[in-house]
Amino acid sequence: MRRIVGLDTARGLAVLGMVAAHVGPDDTWRTVPPGGFAQLADGRPSALFVVLAGVGLALLSGGDRPVVGTRLVQARLRVLVRAALLVVLGAALVELGTPVVVILVVYGGMFAAGTLALRWPRPVVVAAAVAVALLGPVVRPWFDAFPVVAERPLDPLTVLVGHYYPAIVWMSYVLTGLAVGRSDLRSPRVHAWLAGLGAGLVLLGHGGAAALTAALGRRTDLTTADPHSASPFEVAGNTGTALLVLAVCLAVGVRWPRALAPVSATGALALTAYVGHLLVIAALGTRVVWSPTTAGWLWFTGVIVVTCWAWRTWVGRGPLEWVLHAVSTRAADVAPDALPPRADATAPAPAAGPAAQGQTSDRVQDPAAERR
């Protein structure tokens, strides 16, 4: 399948946004924009990253023409194998001990769960995304009595209701991406729909939270739109932001793909870039996270973009992307090999008589010999 430049660009922005959240300068004291520019990178890039995971699910299973039969089985196997590799890689990154909440374990778990919805009609997927966004935040507090340990990334409870990326809520982003990926992503009409819907959701999420907070006179866990609050309003705002970014990237990517090359190359090597920047943080120490500087953030961003751009231009697929592709494609090679015609399919019928019957009854039926 030919890559879509706009998707790679959006994925590149998501990765660079997460890098900014980890090593970018802290300017929460600003009032314009409220909470500073740093807040723009808090929670929203990771939500965009997960929405794009849902789009990837759709593309791996046929895009706007969903596959069926053996190809559907292959698509599910490819997704499950990739998800397993991401979970293992994420657990290993947690062991580095960086002061960064690694998203890959939850990401892999939600990626695998998305295989259950590959055959759902798009209206059903949209309805499920809305239901998870509304009910997930309500159900999540029911698990407060159980201990959630962030240092145990493979703990199912941590994946389900962890503080930063609770799958019980964030699965809405995956389903939203899956619904988007069932559309013609090169269509200007789809771009316009995504932009309009995204703007409406941003207004609903942040404007609705502000209006309800003013009406109640206080903020609650369900009425705030703060980053990582996992409230319905935050999900609506983050989903709207993701759709707006995606709409702009897709529209520009169709018209001026070369202008997006540096960022789209970063998106094509998103996993390598994400893992690489965590390895650098582990090597430099926690100071780059706890005491970030503008210069440090610019160095991280510049090196990532230039390296990914050069690698994409001269080598092609990223190293970690190559591993995911090779292993998952090999594991999904489930199509049965075509067997040659049966040896007796064109042979003349045996003559009647005791002798012929005896020859037929004494013949050794060796399936292996027939295949040879």
pLDDT in tens, 273-290: 999 999 999 999 999 999
Instruction: Check residue 130 and give its pLDDT.
Output: 97
Instruction: Check residue 35 and give its pLDDT.
Output: 66
Instruction: Check residue 337 and give its pLDDT.
Output: 53
CB 60 within 8 A of CB 325: no
Instruction: Check residue 341 and give its pLDDT.
Output: 72
pLDDT digits (tens, 9 = 90+) for 251-274: 999 999 999 999 999 999 999 999
Instruction: Check residue 367 and give its pLDDT.
Output: 39
Which residues in the chain come in under a pLDDT of 70?
A: 1-2, 29-36, 150-151, 334-340, 342-372
Q: Which residues of 31-57 are buried (b: 16+ CB within 10 A; e: fewer)?
A: eeeebbebbbbbbbbbbbbbbbbbbbb
Instruction: Check residue 143 and give its pLDDT.
Output: 87
Instruction: Give the global pTM.
Output: 0.86
- Cα–Cα distance for residue pair 350/356, rounded to 1 Å: 6
- Cα–Cα distance for residue pair 166/143, rounded to 1 Å: 11
